[in-house]
A and B are shown apart, each in its own frame.
Chain A
């Protein structure tokens, strides 16, 4: 399927480049709706790989690339069923989203995240799946999960560690602070820093450049330098699920959902 218009995301194929646009209000929170459409994209990716060389992920929401997991849906899910059942549901969700993220991560195509504004939690993890991150100077990156009593669950820790090493992971994770795009470029997270509103344009120019190379060679180079951290990704799911069953997490989620604080997104 070369073109698709969903409720949370859309994609369009043009001249070997698949552009995936996230467009769910307010800031592309990832819940079951987005997951289902990401899985549809995953199937389309298989079909389009032979005729493509690059994928661009971006957001058409003004607030940013993605604010992370849909915490309201997660909290409401815990209220409808017993704790054990809620935990099973969370594990199933994580298994499914890891399936999609791993597939995009290991795709033979070159993948580019074009980000702006809020790129937090699961949204940051989605960007980390990509081979390159092009950021406009208003982008911000953050792992706020520890304040909920959780760790990032969509593969963020193993991927960030793979790409940048442990000290950056610890800083982001243990302090919960956010980095701006300039800092992110300085530490090697962002490959290109561009002016406000220019990330998608820069990503398209990059995709055009990538299209000049032999696809088999690009795929071989990527496979060589970007191994999937399979074991750590499995461990992450186990740790997340262990932490999730604690009553403190439900209390933190409730606090977040019911918060009227001026800065609910900040740690």
Chain B
């Protein structure tokens, strides 16, 4: 199983590639809504890509209030 740091790195890499943001401009504690400039539909897109990539289910209600990459990665890690 990957470590939380590895999971976090994969989340950042995937988000950067999907929304065409340089990877080095994203940090674990960034607000991804602000840094990626995404709306609710794009957030759903990201959620689906993360589920597909990590082969996990991320219930929407667990994502409520999550806006930084570190917390997002911890939610994924808890379901790996």
Q: Indicate if B39 sits at the interface (CB-CB under 8 A).
A: yes
State A63–B52 Cα separation when bound (angstroms): 18
Of B33, B48, B64, which is in contact with the most chain A CB atoms at under 10 Å from its CB?
B48
Binds B, one of A33-41, A157-165, A172-180: A172-180
User: Counting CB contacts under 8 A, is B78 at the interface?
Assistant: no
The count of A-to-B residue pairs whose CB atoms sit within 8 angstroms is 56
Please tell me if the beta carbons of A27 and B51 are within 8 angstroms of each other in the complex.
Answer: no
Q: Which residue of B lies closest to A27 (CB)?
A: B41
Is the C-beta of A229 less than 8 angstroms from some C-beta in chain B? no
B contact face: mostly helix, strand, loop, or mixed? helix
B40 within 8 A of partner (CB): yes
Among A180, A264, A267, point to the contact of B61 (Cβ < 8 A).
A267
Given the complex, which residues of A lie within 8 Å of B29, measured CB to CB? Answer: none
* Contact string against B for A residues 233-267, beta-carbon threshold 8 Å, 1 for contact and 0 otherwise: 00000000000000000000000000001111111
In the complex, which residues 3-61 of chain B have their Cβ closer than 8 Å to any Cβ of chain A?
A: 33, 39-41, 43-45, 47-49, 51-52, 57, 59-61
CB distance from B60 to the nearest CB of A (A): 5
Name the contact of B40 in the complex, choosing from A117, A137, A183, A262 (C-beta under 8 A).
Answer: A262
Q: Which B residues are CB-close (under 8 A) to A178?
A: 44, 60
Query: Could you tell me if A263 and B52 are in contact, using CB atoms closer than 8 angstroms?
Result: no
- A118 CB within 8 Å of chain B: yes
By a CB distance below 8 angstroms, the chain A residues around B64 are: 263, 266
Interface residues of B (CB under 8 A from A): 33, 39-41, 43-45, 47-49, 51-52, 57, 59-61, 63-64, 67
- Extra A-B contacts (8), CB below 8 Å, given A64-B41, A137-B52, A138-B45: A117-B41, A178-B44, A183-B57, A262-B40, A262-B43, A265-B44, A266-B40, A267-B60
Per CB-CB distance, the 6 closest pairs between chain A and chain B, nearest first, are A177-B59, A263-B40, A266-B60, A177-B60, A265-B40, A180-B51
A: residues with CB less than 8 A from B are 27, 63-64, 117-118, 137-138, 140, 142, 175-178, 180, 182-183, 261-267
